[in-house]
Amino acid sequence: MTTPAGTGPGGRLLVLAADHRARGVPTIERYDDYLRALTAAVAHCDGVLATAQPLVDLAGSGCLGGRRTYLSLNRTGLAGSAFELDDRLVATVTRAAADGWTGVKLMTRIAPDDPGGAAALELLGRVLEEAHALSLEALVEPVVWRDGRLSRAVDDVVLGAVVAHDLGAPLLKVPVPDEPPGDDRSAAVGRVVASVGVPVLFLGGPRQGLAEPIEDLARDVMTGGAAGLAVGRAVIEDPDPGAVARRLAGIVHGR
């Protein structure tokens, strides 16, 4: 397999996540302001994952040249809804290929107490097969869902990573394990990375929900052996998204 465009030094990646709004997660309400924030941030990133319209508009502005582009496929599981775990396709691998994107992104929520959870894994397998057939990269976000929310317990992060990896996911995006900052968190990241044989990106989370600067989290993640970060709200909701993205790029790429 050839290395996709937009790969950073040493294979490390900083990917901008821009698919929250379509799942009912508020970010920036005014669309023009939202696009400005994305444009400022993506200038310092190796790639972007987004739903259909933002991805088309970013490409149309000419700011995505040479970067990885992932079309976010499943967004029906609106945050906080009664059908949140029923996360079906809103776009297809075929569309991603036809539109010229380099890959697709799929969230797979593994909920042990959900009787319908097998459908999510079946969907993952189908998307991986289709992406392979069309030579597109699949960025998979496997998360274990407990008590109505994403679990950041180390055992659960490892479980999600292993399931997606062993089904054939070539690139993973997982939560940062909920461990104390510093050596403990870096060691937990290392455990996740060692459980699979593909690059692992760690997600940044919401800006307001972070108990520390995103840069500190990024340093622990990279020390633990991560391939990079996939960040969205922590960057685009900042008053200066370009500056935050530039600092994170420096950490990810060791500059």
> pTM higher than 0.85 for the full model?
yes
Give per-residue pLDDT as tens, 224-248.
999 999 999 999 999 999 999 999 9
- Mean pLDDT confidence for 32-45: 98
Give per-residue pLDDT as tens, 54-112.
999 999 999 999 999 999 999 999 999 999 999 999 999 999 999 999 999 999 999 99
Q: What is the pLDDT of residue 15?
A: 98
Mean pLDDT of the chain: 94
Task: Enumerate long-range contacts of 161-168, CB under 8 Å, 24 or more apart.
Answer: 161/192, 161/195, 161/196, 161/200, 162/195, 162/196, 163/108, 163/110, 163/121, 164/108, 164/124, 164/140, 165/195, 165/196, 165/197, 165/198, 167/121, 167/124, 167/125, 167/128, 168/125, 168/128, 168/132
Structural domains for the chain: 9-252 (3.20.20.70)
At residue 212 the predicted structure's pLDDT band, cuts being 50, 70 and 90, is confident
pLDDT exceeds cutoff 50 at 1 = no
Q: Please give the backbone phi and psi of residue 66, each rounded to the nearest 5 degrees, phi first.
A: 80, 0
At residue 204 the predicted structure's pLDDT band, cuts being 50, 70 and 90, is confident
pLDDT exceeds cutoff 60 at 4 = no
Q: What is the pLDDT of residue 255?
A: 74
